[in-house]
């Protein structure tokens, strides 16, 4: 229960946040959803129009794609935790700004610390750049490294980082769905049986 209570505290801080200007234009902040003891953490970019209305991540067309991708490896949203780099929607769904990322990522860091996932899957370029830099990896183009597995050693043990395309690419380019399905198989392959620590 302690993790759930701690996540509630993170949510309270996000709800009261004025660290960047996005709080002035948001409808609802989007803290994240899923299991606080998830073994896989999916990190997206920022809330879009529907996420901002509902206060939940990935509820639009890209969310339907994500649900299908999870289902393809026998998982659903309750088995993972889904968060974003930004907790508030940038106006017009524009890209996150550097100062917004700096202001908001302490909340993602707190979520990482709480959940202690074994696998971090980055969804899209902004997520890749932040997570790679945080764990001492050199960010590269997603087209070059999607679906590859990177192992990092942390105070909490080993973690695996898997860069993935953002599910929205399959909305605009249906041919990319096969690429995403193949990349998601990698997540299933590297998830060790529960209780088994992989070195």
User: Residues 7-44: pLDDT tens digits?
Assistant: 999 999 999 999 999 999 999 999 999 999 999 999 99
pLDDT at position 198, please? 44
The CATH homologous superfamily for domain 2-190 is Uracil-DNA glycosylase-like domain (3.40.470.10)
Q: What is the mean pLDDT of residues 49-59?
A: 96
Output the DSSP codes for 145-168.
Answer: HTT--EEEEETTEEEEEEEE--TH
Q: What pTM, to 2 d.p., does this model score?
A: 0.93
Rounded to 5°, the CA angle 141-145-150 comes to 120
pLDDT at position 1, please? 62
Over the chain, what is the mean pLDDT? 93
Assess whether pLDDT exceeds 70 at residue 176. Answer: yes
Token output for 164? 């993935």
Strand locations in 115-156 (E)? 119-123, 150-154
pLDDT at position 197, please? 45
Q: What is the mean pLDDT of residues 175-198?
A: 83
User: Residues 156-170: pLDDT tens digits?
Assistant: 778 999 999 999 999
Positive or negative torsion for Cα 177, 187, 43, 27: positive
* Separation between Cα atoms, residue 171 and residue 175, nearest integer Å: 9
Share of the chain above pLDDT 90, in %: 90
């Amino acid at each position: 229960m302690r993790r759930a209570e701690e996540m509630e505290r993170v949510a309270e801080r996000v709800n009261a946040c004025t660290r960047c200007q996005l709080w002035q234009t948001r409808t609802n902040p989007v803290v994240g959803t899923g299991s606080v003891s998830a073994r896989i953490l999916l990190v997206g970019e920022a809330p879009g129009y529907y996420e901002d209305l509902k206060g939940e991540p990935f509820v639009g067309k890209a969310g339907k794609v994500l649900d299908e991708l999870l289902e393809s490896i026998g998982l659903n949203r309750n088995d993972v935790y889904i968060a974003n780099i930004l907790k508030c929607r940038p106006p017009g769904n524009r890209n996150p700004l550097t100062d917004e990322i700096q202001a908001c990522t302490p909340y993602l860091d707190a979520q990482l610390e709480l959940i202690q996932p074994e696998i971090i899957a980055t969804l899209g370029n902004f997520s890749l750049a932040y997570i790679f830099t945080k764990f001492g990896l050199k960010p590269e183009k997603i087209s070059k490294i999607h679906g590859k597995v990177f192992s990092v050693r942390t105070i909490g043990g080993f973690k695996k980082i898997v860069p993935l395309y953002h599910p929205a690419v399959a909305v605009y380019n249906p041919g990319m769905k096969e690429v995403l399905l193949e990349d998601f198989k990698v997540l299933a392959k590297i998830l060790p049986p529960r209780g088994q620590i992989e070195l």
